[in-house]
Structure 1
Amino acid sequence: MHDLLDHLPRHDDSLQQRDYRRYLAQRMGPMIHALMLVATLVYLVAVVASSVLQRPMLSGWLRALPLLPLALVTLSTRQARRPHLLSALTLLFVVLLEVSINLNTFGNPHRQTMVLPGLLLPVVSSVIWLGRWDFVAGMIVCALGPLPMLLLGNSDDVQVVQYLIYMAVAIVLAAVLRAFMARTLFEQFRLERRLREQANTDGLTGLLLRNRFLQLSRLALADIRHRGLPACVLYLDADHFKPLNDDFGHAAGDAALIAMAGTMRRQMRPDDLIGRIGGEEFAMLMPGLDLAQATQRAEQLRLAIHAIQRPDGRMSVSIGVVECRPDDEAIETLLIRADRAMRQAKRAGRDRVASTVD
């Protein structure tokens, strides 16, 4: 799994790893729950069958006692979607299952005959581990689980050696199956991620499309209001952009927009949102900043864009800045006000920042 993640871009590797683990938890959670449910039912059948066909030393209710924690873990897994919680529940279930199998065979003089199902457990469980270390821990539990049945039964050294060989083969097979499944899931994750990016981002600049920017901004503003934080919106428009396209062609205009988008991304914070609103118009939502702080950041951004060289000179932008009102102001209203402030900057001579509190 770790090797597969090496194919992801390194600049936000940790973020994409978290996204991938969440993706695995969402996709594999229902399957893990179903396998746990089947395993719990199989153990119930085994308890009933041993009570009918054999005379076990332990009473039936004692051997059925593990069914309660097995069922509770199974029910908890149905609701779990966080990767670490799902991994912990999966490992706990396998431990409980191994303990239950040993308990069900307690007092059976031929308990070594129950080792064969234990050899199948690594292969069966190979598809449920979300991460590399989950898999390693799971295989250790699977390997150690049947040992009490062997060591406390009537097994000789030959049977113990055979068990070790067969268990090694089973774990290797489980590793191969998991590697193929992990690669398949990773390719599917990467494809779905690419499709989402294409649907939500502008193909030229890589910034959010207008509709996606509005959607994410609504969610961000709701969280900002819940936390009682300020927020500001910047509205940017490239100055004298039409002459650039007319005199030097659309390729020059596209190059200028790409460079401008790259500068904006370098200036943004992790919680900021940037969207391409129109042809050469962009918007930024800046959570946690009041009007004075956002105006200062806008001025820094304006100066950074000056470093972009156009065929006809340096690039410049006009920026409007507004602060979110205390009432439940929609992002669309914020954009209208920020656009109005940007036009004030245009009328004042361009290449400047204008802020408003109206």
Structure 2
Amino acid sequence: MDDEYAKLIRRMNPPRVVIDNNACEDATVIQVDSVNKHGILLDVVQVLSDMNLVITMFNVIDHNGNKIRDKEVIDYIQRRLENNPSFAPSFRESVGVVPTEEYTSIELTGTDRPGLLSEVCAVLADLHCNVVNAEIWTHNTRAAAVVNVTDDSSGHAIKDPVCLSRIRDLLCNVLRGSDDPKTAKTTLSPPGVTNRGRRLHQIMFADRDYDRVERAGQGRYRDRDRDRDRSRLPNVTVVDCVEKDYTVVTMRAKDRPKLLFDIICTLTDMQYVVYHGVVQTARTEAYQEFYIRHVDGFPISSEAERDRLVQCLEAAIERRASEV
């Protein structure tokens, strides 16, 4: 019933995508008009990020810094955006590709340490699991991974509950640190439900990798000296815009692919809505400014929440930094 309602609304208000190569000399301008809903900006940014396109001032260039000239690529972008079910109101909140039965998706969380990846791979090999693909992030002493595996003999997803339970238990033992105050987790999840990059952000956020930790001889991870050093990157500030009833978030960071996606992903999953934004890149540095509110329409009201948002955005920027 929900799907039929979404299809009806979609037919009444189809998304409109305009791709313009004439409006700007150095970039392709993409304009998307659709039904307004929470997460719509993330959906657009995710489609473009998945295609390795770079968003500058909300205009788009390819990975080599040029306009998008290939008509097949332009048509593909238009189809992806116009046919994305997320642009129609729906009670489903999952984002990404259609679930598949081709492999089993394993989510891992634990303490980062030397040799962890080798041990995880050794366990999977001993259990006759073939790794189809995997993505692993480490940040602030924590590690998270999404690993897609198949049964080595059949080449298909692993469905035997006894085998799945054994995989979960053995991997959890590998991930559990001897002095880890947090609990290691191994979860078997339906594949393809959520974009893998977004899912890794969600896993590490749930694991509270943004928490400040003590470092030997350095005191707190964010001490007063760092607070005074505004030239250090990434640099995130969260302030009130009382006259407009917004919270203003500004970020300066080393420019890299998918930086905007990581920021918008975090804001969206923390239940903030972006009303206005500015994205600028200059040489190797990126500047982003967003006017946000809670999904309930109110700006941030406490210093503790502002501080937590700063920590979470800095963590979101740093998690993928090792890829660059």
Same structural fold, with TM-score higher than 0.5 when normalized by the shorter chain: no
Question: TM class, shorter-chain normalised?
Answer: under 0.3
TM-score (norm 1): 0.21
Greater C-alpha radius of gyration:
1
TM-score (norm 2): 0.23
Between Structure 1 and Structure 2, the one with more strand by share is 2
